Amino acid sequence: MGRIVLRGGRVVDGTGGGARRADVAVAGGRITAVGQLAPRPGDEVLDVTGLTVAPGFHDIHTHFDLSLLAERDHLDGLRQGITTYHVGQCGLGFAPASPPTQAVFRDYLAAIMGDPDLSPFRSVADYLALCKGGRVNVVPILPHGLLRAEVAGMARGPLTRSQLDRMKGLVAEGMEEGARGISAGLTYFPGSEADLDELVAVSKIVAAHGGVYVSHLRNYADGLLEAIDEACEIGRRAGLPVQISHLRPQGKYRGRAPEVLAHIEAWRGRGVDVAFDMYTYLKGYTLMSALFLPPEVYAGGVEAAVAMLRDPAERRRLRESAPAADWAEVHIASIGSQRNRRFEGLRLRAFAEAVGKEVFDACADLLVEERLRVGVVGWPIEESDLRAVLRHQLCLVGSDSIPMGGARHPRASGCFARYLGHYVRDLGLLPLEEAIRRITSVPARRYGLGDRGRIAEGMAADIVVFDPAAIRDRATYDQPRLLAEGVRHVLVNGSLVLRDGRLA
pLDDT score at 326: 72
Q: How confident is the model at residue 206 (pLDDT cuts 50, 70, 90)?
A: very high
pLDDT one-digit tens code per residue, 461-483 = 999 999 999 999 999 999 999 99
CB within 8 Å of 39: residues ≥ 6 apart: 5, 7, 45
Straight-line distance from the first to the last Cα atom of the chain, in angstroms, rounded to the nearest whole number: 17
Q: Is the model's pLDDT at 325 over the cut of 80?
A: no
Helix or strand run (H / E) with residue 8: strand 4-11
Measured over the CA atoms of residue 119, residue 122, residue 127 and residue 130, the dihedral's sign is negative
Q: Is the model's pLDDT at 183 over the cut of 90?
A: yes
Q: Is the model's pLDDT at 55 over the cut of 80?
A: yes
Mean pLDDT (whole number) for 143-153: 98
Q: Is the model's pLDDT at 52 over the cut of 90?
A: yes
Q: Is the model's pLDDT at 403 over the cut of 80?
A: yes
Q: Is the model's pLDDT at 181 over the cut of 90?
A: yes
Q: Is the model's pLDDT at 323 over the cut of 80?
A: no
pLDDT score at 72: 84
| Residue 331 · residue 477 · CB < 8 Å | yes
pLDDT score at 133: 84
| Residue 82 · residue 414 · CB < 8 Å | no
Q: Is the model's pLDDT at 1 over the cut of 70?
A: no
CB within 8 Å of 277: residues ≥ 6 apart: 60, 61, 243, 244, 245, 246, 247, 395, 396, 397, 398
pLDDT one-digit tens code per residue, 104-134 = 999 999 999 999 999 999 999 999 999 998 8
Q: Is 159 helix (H, G, I), strand (E, B) or coil?
A: coil
Whole-number Å distance between alpha carbons of 204 and 199: 9
Share of the chain above pLDDT 90, in %: 93
pLDDT one-digit tens code per residue, 353-398 = 999 999 999 999 999 999 999 999 998 999 999 999 999 999 999 9
Domains of the chain (ranges, CATH numbers):
4-55+457-503 (2.30.40.10), 57-282+381-446 (3.20.20.140), 296-377 (no CATH)
pLDDT one-digit tens code per residue, 406-447 = 999 999 999 999 999 999 999 999 999 999 999 999 999 999
pLDDT one-digit tens code per residue, 230-278 = 999 999 999 999 999 999 999 999 999 999 999 999 999 999 999 999 9
Q: Is the peptide bond before 443 cis (omega within 30 degrees of 0)?
A: no
The residue among 337, 463, 332, 341 whose CA lies nearest residue 409 is 332
Q: How confident is the model at residue 500 (pLDDT cuts 50, 70, 90)?
A: very high
Q: Is 216 helix (H, G, I), strand (E, B) or coil?
A: strand
pLDDT score at 282: 97
| Residue 193 · residue 185 · CB < 8 Å | no
Helix or strand run (H / E) with residue 319: helix 312-321
pLDDT one-digit tens code per residue, 279-288 = 999 999 999 9
Q: How confident is the model at residue 195 (pLDDT cuts 50, 70, 90)?
A: very high
Mean pLDDT (whole number) for 454-459: 98
